[in-house]
Amino acid sequence: MIAVIASSCTGNKSENKKTAEQSPVPAVKPDLVIGNETLLLLKDLEENGDYVNSQVFPSLIKASVVHESLEKNLLVVDLRNPEQFSAGHIKGAVNKKFEELPGWFETGIKPFEYDRIIMVCDDGQLSGYTTCLLRMMGYGNVFAMRWGMCSWNSNYAKDGWLKYVSGKYETQLETKANERPASTLMPSVNTGLSAGADISSARFSQLFKEGTANILITADEVFADPHSFFVINLERKDKYEDGHIPGAVRYKPDTTLGFTEEMASIPSDKTVVVYCGTGHNSAFATAYLRLFGYDARTLKYGNNSFMYNKMIAQKTALSWLPFTSADVNDFESVK
């Protein structure tokens, strides 16, 4: 598939989404088993900007940029629970449940009247997952705030990122490269529909109905039995070779999502754990894989959750992104 740079959206959603007409099914290698609906879904996403292979993927924004833009044409959507939101939030933010976002974007607001819509959560992973789905749906002005509310001020960071970074499992890492399985098949998408746009709409609707209870997984859960999962490492080769979760297979971040031969090598009968340095990129990738029917989870806090000391020691040598107090701002929250 050709990676197309996704242009920013300026009109209404319908101007950025093709009509529900049947498209030709793209050709794949004859030894791959990929269903007709899956191929139509792939083609629909490609024709609508191929977001996951564009230069704006993943769409992350720093807290400092959000803070500077608060008096401008900006909308902050806080995905935390009502109790957390009431205790303190970004000035002007609105509190919304993940499940209600599609309807709210359709009829509750005029999304493209805002320069940017910022998704905010505790640590940045739920907002990343949400942003990826909304971007693929055609909302090209949505961003996820990096590090979540933990980067807004220390009140959030002390009970979030700063509390849960850990080097607990860094002595259990392996350095040998694990081979990618043979490319055989992708999960079946069975909406019963025949047009790519309709299939996409049905799949997005299903994911929002499912909620977010099963999109995160912890390092404790994974390291308890890493070989019971199919673990995907989304890092550079040098970082992967320096130490990764036992059994983890490295997939290139820029040539996996949307490429049938690559995705067909990911087992559809196992829980797939996707991880990167911070959990941000993997949250976006998890959204894409779940759209196609994979039981994918993003590793909470990424490498920061199990090899933090190693990341600190090799920060310069391997360009790691360990979360530290330097990533925490002192911005005001309101009640």
In angstroms, the CA 180 to CA 249 distance is 6
Query: Of 194, 173, 183, 191, which is closest to residue 314 (Cα–Cα)?
Result: 173
Per-residue pLDDT at 133 exceeds 90:
yes
- pLDDT grade for 31, boundaries at 50, 70 and 90: confident
Domain with CATH 3.40.250.10 in the chain: 60-164, 170-318
Per residue in 236-290, pLDDT (tens digit) is 999 999 999 999 999 998 899 999 999 999 999 999 999 999 999 999 999 999 9
Is the model's pTM score more than 0.85? yes
237-245: long-range contacts, CB 8 A cutoff, minimum separation 24: 238/318, 239/277, 239/318, 239/320, 240/177, 241/175, 241/177, 242/175, 242/314, 242/318, 243/170, 243/173, 243/174, 243/175, 243/307, 243/310, 244/173, 244/174, 244/175, 245/173, 245/174, 245/273, 245/275, 245/306
In this prediction, what percent of the chain has a pLDDT beyond 90?
A: 89
Mean pLDDT for 165-191 is 97
In angstroms, the CA 132 to CA 128 distance is 6
Classify domain 60-164 at the CATH class level. alpha beta
| CATH number at 170-318 | 3.40.250.10
Per residue in 296-324, pLDDT (tens digit) is 999 999 999 999 999 999 999 999 999 99
SS3 label, residue 146: coil
Give me the residue label for tokens 């070989």.
227
Mean pLDDT of the chain: 92
Give me the residue label for tokens 């754990």.
273
Per residue in 187-236, pLDDT (tens digit) is 999 999 999 999 999 999 999 999 999 999 999 999 999 999 999 999 99
SS3 label, residue 277: coil
In angstroms, the CA 144 to CA 142 distance is 7
